[in-house]
Amino acid sequence: TDIFRQVTPTERFRGRRMESCPATDKEWHRMRTGTGPQGAIKRELFSDKESLWGYSISHCSPQIEEMITQGEFTWQRCHELFAQQGLMLQKQHHGLVVVDAFNHEQTPVKASSIHPDLTLGRAEPQAGPFVSAPADLFDRVQPESRYNPELAVSDRYGVSSKRDPMLRRQRREARAEARAD
């Protein structure tokens, strides 16, 4: 072994007793921004508005994981779960998408970005061929919440990174009064 070999930070060294390596730029970016549709991630980071993808991840992904691990995944239960959050699972071309049930103008989200097992190839062997949502789904299942595109992401987590306009106005007026004196 050559103990003097230089290992650049972007290279993974697979030697013995060398488990800790610096993360590559790509890995660091993924840890910082997460994985998902890049447009949705940028919307949440820069405009502080919740995307349909973020809403679906926070409201549906844990329940889908629970259904799959307990072996209770069926298309009917999946449709009911999405309907409780005001969403719909639909087949589009050769895959599945999640759409806002009350606003069809909203760009749909690929279902596999919400949960990796929500693809036709992975879900159909367990649940059978895809069955579309019944027409009376929202008569039977009342939505507990709905997606609001104007809702800030920071409202979910507590303190907003956005400046408080009222506090800024008060401070600006106080500085103007101090200059006038």
Quick one: tokens of 155? Answer: 């409202």
What is the rounded average pLDDT of the residues 41-69?
85
Listed residue (28, 101, 120, 19) closest to 60, CA to CA: 101
Percentage of the chain beyond pLDDT 90 is 36
Name the more confident of 105 and 10: 105
Kindly report the pTM of this predicted structure.
0.68
Give the helix, strand, coil percentages of the chain, each rounded to 5.
45, 10, 45
Residues 81 and 7: their CA atoms lie apart, in Å, by 49
Looking at per-residue pLDDT, the higher value among 93 and 154 belongs to 93
pLDDT digit string, tens, across residues 8-26: 555 555 444 445 566 677 7
Q: Stretch 75-97: mean pLDDT, rounded?
A: 94
pLDDT classification of 174: cutoffs 50, 70, 90: very high
Averaged pLDDT of the chain: 81
Kindly state the helix (H) or strand (E) to which residue 89 belongs, with its residue range: strand 87-92
Asked if residue 58 has pLDDT above 50, the reply is yes
pLDDT of residue 17: 44
Q: pLDDT at residue 5 above 60?
A: yes
Q: Per-residue pLDDT tens for 46-56? A: 777 888 888 89
Place of tokens 């400046």: 163
Q: How far is CA 35 from the centre of its chain?
A: 8
